[in-house]
Amino acid sequence: MSRHTRRRSPLRVRLTVAGAGILAVAAAAATMTIASAGEPAHRRAEEQTAGADHAVFVQGNELEGNSIHVFRRGTDGKLTPAGRYRTGGKGGDQVDAPTDSLASQGSLVYDDRSGLLLAVNAGSGTVTSFQVRGQKLTHRRVVGSGGDFPSSITVSGRVAYVMNAGGAGSVQGFRITADGLRPLPGSRRSLGLDNEKVPLFSSSPGQVAFTPDGRALVVTTKSANTIEVFPVGRDGRPAEKAVVSRSAGEVPFAITFDRSGRMLVAEAAKSTVSTYTVRSDGRLKLLQRPLANGQNTLCWLERAGAFFYGGNTGNSTVTGYRMDRHGRLALTHAQGIATPPSAQSQGVIDLAVTKDEKFLYVQNATSGTVDGFRIGGDGSLTKVTTATGLPAFADSGMEGITAV
């Protein structure tokens, strides 16, 4: 089906429900903290040097030629444009996508061990790697993804896996080398889907993710409503068949893990999060039933220490969660809104947390902006920056963000 022949699905109807009531009460963004005029000059210089290598990378996903938009990240969290780099591939747009062209989490990944930035080129069936040098990207390498419409990447040690959303769907393994990605022979596994080469957004898989110990590969399938686990051998290759479990909540999408290795899955249909243990044989044990946040269409979920943040694209809000020492998840705010929405922050999609867990960055697809927030000790969010001028959603739009 052509991407211009868009069918309306029940999920899309939910996504297009405006969050008018919430937006009507949106508060003004908190002003950015400014260093005191009396602060010693040498201290300010030290802070600037300390932030010299900090960056946020945003995938433009442009149909005519995908690119990475680079921002310098100051020690105060503020973003400053620092360049744009072509990936050598094309962006993509799933059929009937309402705000998120790739309908996935993890389409842009930074691997701290190798220093590589990995990006999918959904429109050309390829994956690009760059070597990261501060805010500069070098040594571009492009390889085939092993399938149609690559939309998510995960890394463990010296191995990366790419999830292909088109056709039957698949996961394909790669060795991470000094010269980029090299296909791992015998690692491709089918997901058994029934999509076109460019899939319908509601029937494409949501994410591929390694468990923290690297012993399993997990995939969410939205329309099948399953969580599929491939146990991974010492050679980096997955089991021939996945262990398939029914999702506790409807339309499983994003995957993340807490400090103890518990798996959290965001479910889009009713904006819920379920918590599991992934057993060594690939079976799942449900630890906490779906927790609703009262918002509209939760699709993305990222961890920052004991806190988690979810992006609700249906009404452009961010929800905060807290995990206690017993592994029990709860909302940080009773109403499910960690930060008020604004007119400049519409179409919330993907999120990224800095390595030091001090800042959260949120993509706003409809507005073509990225908001940056300082994470408080209680999980509260204070807006410190907004980057503008990024590819806004139309026929396609930006998707994929990571922070270094």
How confident is the model over 276-304, as pLDDT tens digits? 999 999 999 999 999 999 999 999 999 99
Average pLDDT over residues 192-213: 96
- Please, which contacts does 49-54 make with residues 24 or more away whose CB atoms are closer than 8 Å? 50/75, 51/75, 52/134, 53/134, 53/135, 53/404, 54/354, 54/403, 54/404
Cβ distance 170 to 197 under 8 Å?
Answer: no
Cβ distance 352 to 316 under 8 Å?
Answer: no
Residue 96 CB partners (closer than 8 Å, separation 6+)? 6, 7, 8, 9, 12, 200, 201, 202
Average pLDDT over residues 371-385: 97
Average pLDDT over residues 7-14: 44
Q: Is the pLDDT of residue 26 over 70?
A: no
Q: What is the pLDDT of residue 251?
A: 98
How confident is the model over 219-252, as pLDDT tens digits? 999 999 999 999 999 999 999 999 999 999 999 9
The pLDDT-based confidence of 46 (bands split at 50, 70, 90) is very low
Domain borders along the chain are 57-403
The pLDDT-based confidence of 8 (bands split at 50, 70, 90) is very low
Q: Which residue has the higher pLDDT, 1 or 303?
A: 303
Q: What is the pLDDT of residue 203?
A: 93
Q: Which residue has the higher pLDDT, 2 or 48?
A: 48
How confident is the model over 69-91, as pLDDT tens digits? 999 999 999 999 999 999 999 99
CATH topology of domain 57-403: Methylamine Dehydrogenase; Chain H (2.130.10)
Q: What is the pLDDT of residue 51?
A: 52
Q: What is the pLDDT of residue 349?
A: 97
Q: Is the pLDDT of residue 193 over 90?
A: yes
Beta-strand pair 150-156/369-375: unpaired
Mean predicted lDDT score pLDDT of the chain: 89
Q: Which range among 10-14, 166-170, 192-196 shows the weakest confidence by mean pLDDT?
A: 10-14
Q: Is the pLDDT of residue 185 over 50?
A: yes
Spatial CA neighbour of 255 closest among 300, 224, 285: 300
How confident is the model over 113-140, as pLDDT tens digits? 999 999 999 999 999 999 999 999 999 9
